[in-house]
Structures are given as structure tokens and as C-alpha cells.
Amino acid sequence: MIQLLVLDNARMAQALVDYLASLGINCELTQSELGVTVWLVDEKRLPQAQLEVKRFLAEPQHPRYMEASWKHGSANARIDYSRGIADPITDFLHHAGPLTLLILIACVATFALDEIGLPFYDLLAFHADLTQFLDWQVWRFFTPSLIHFSIMHLVFNLLWWWYLGGQIEMRIGSGKLLILALAAGAISNTAEFMLSGPAFGGLSGVVYALLGYCWLRGRSQPECGIALPPALMGFMLLWLALGFTGLLGPVGNMAHLAGLLVGLLQAWLDRRGHHA
């Protein structure tokens, strides 16, 4: 059997399996702490199954899946369909792996300590000038990503980090998320320094890397289980473009663009590695 994708919601996974069964594509479900895995039984149907998974991820609430469950569905005694129907805190934690939570806590703690008069800005800020690039304080390439200047700035970035970083960590692994975060943080922060100097901060360069990664990896390999609705990608690209017009005020435009390119490049490399 071949793994098609992993979903948090058992009922949605069952609806997908029922719909695939209506097309003559037989699948099975297994459940673990990471979620419900959809397995393809007949490997010869993989190309068609991947196309249907891609369509499902683009519009999982489409009536066709519920209709298939009513017509062809049957409950699986091994699957706990009540899982996922939990309180908001449990759902929040279930979506986030340890690295997702660690970075989230670090950003909140940095902001809170600054608010109570214990600023870490000088310790976490980017290198002051080019002569310090070879300094031993290598953390400064990434740590500006932990600095936020307002509660809205913080909340906006962390919601995207939780949503996208959680997908990547839970579906692909903490190692991949760590690589993306460190590479995107260092490259986007360096790009922003080259454009505007060292007075900047925020996780948005990393967020744009996760956006690009989830969008391209989800489109090219839907079986990996990560996806980004096209409308959300379109909104964030519009936000990126508006930033360069100056209508949004002081925004880390170069960090956003560099981060997006890092994410797209990593998704392209992972796709090549998968097909090699």
C-alpha cells in the first residue's frame, strides 16, 4: 500500500475514502497520534488517486464527499471518529509539534519581556554593520525573527506560523521545519539588512517561506499531506505586492520576498529528491 495523505479529522478522511471508493479506487484508513492516514490499496491507481487528493485538499468541504459517505460509506471500527472534536486548546496543541510551539513561545516571551522593561532587542537584533558578519555571534542571522514591535504584528505572524509550521512539522517532520525556519530566517533577515539596515524584526520572512513551501509542495505532491488554499496564497501575494507600493507603511518587503523564494526553492528541491 502507498500512503496518500494524513488528516487531522477522521470524518473527513472517511469521506475522502468513500468518495474514492465510488470511483473504484480502494483505500484503507489507519489512526495514530499524528492523525488518520489514507492508504492506497491498488498502486496502479496512484496517478488518479493523487489527482483526487489534490482536488480534495483544494475544496475539502465540497458536497461530493459527504454525498459519497451517505451512498457508499461504512464506519471503520478501528477509527475513533470522535477524535478531533475537542476543546480549542487541545485542537491548538494537536496541530502543533514541539518546534512549532518552541518558536511560538520564544516570540511571545521576547515580546512580553520587552513590554515589562526587560528588552532583549540588543541581544537578538541583526548585526549592526557588514564588518560584524564574520563575528562569532551567528545567532543574530536568525534571532531578529523573534522580535515583534506590536501585539498585532506578533499575533498575525504567529497565527500563520502555527497554521503553516504545524502542517509541515506534523506531516513531514521537525527536521524539515527547522531547516526552513533557519534558512529562511537567515536569508530573509540578511536581505532586509541589505535594503534597510539593521533596525527590523519579525517572523514574516519565515512565514513567507512556509507559504511558498506549502503551496508548491502541496500542488506538486498532494500525497505529502500539506496544502495551502489558493485563495490564501493569492491574498498573501497581494499583501506582498502592496508592501512594495508603500501603502502598508514600513514593512519588511525584502524579507518577505526572500523568504518566499527560499520556501519555493526548498519545495522544488524536495520534489526533485522525491522523484529521483
Active site includes 256? yes
Angle at 242 between CA 239 and CA 246, to 5 degrees: 135
What is the rounded distance in angstroms from the CA atom of residue 113 to the CA atom of residue 117?
6
Q: 10 Å Cβ neighbour count for 25?
A: 18
What is the rounded distance in angstroms from the CA atom of residue 171 to the CA atom of residue 57?
14
Contacts of 199 (CB under 8 A, 6+ apart): 125
From 204, 220, 274, 275, active-site residue: 204
Residue 93, helix vs strand vs coil: helix
Q: 10 Å Cβ neighbour count for 246?
A: 10
Q: What are phi and psi of 123, to 5 degrees?
A: -80, -30
From 69, 145, 148, 256, active-site residue: 256
Catalogue the active-site residues. 204, 256
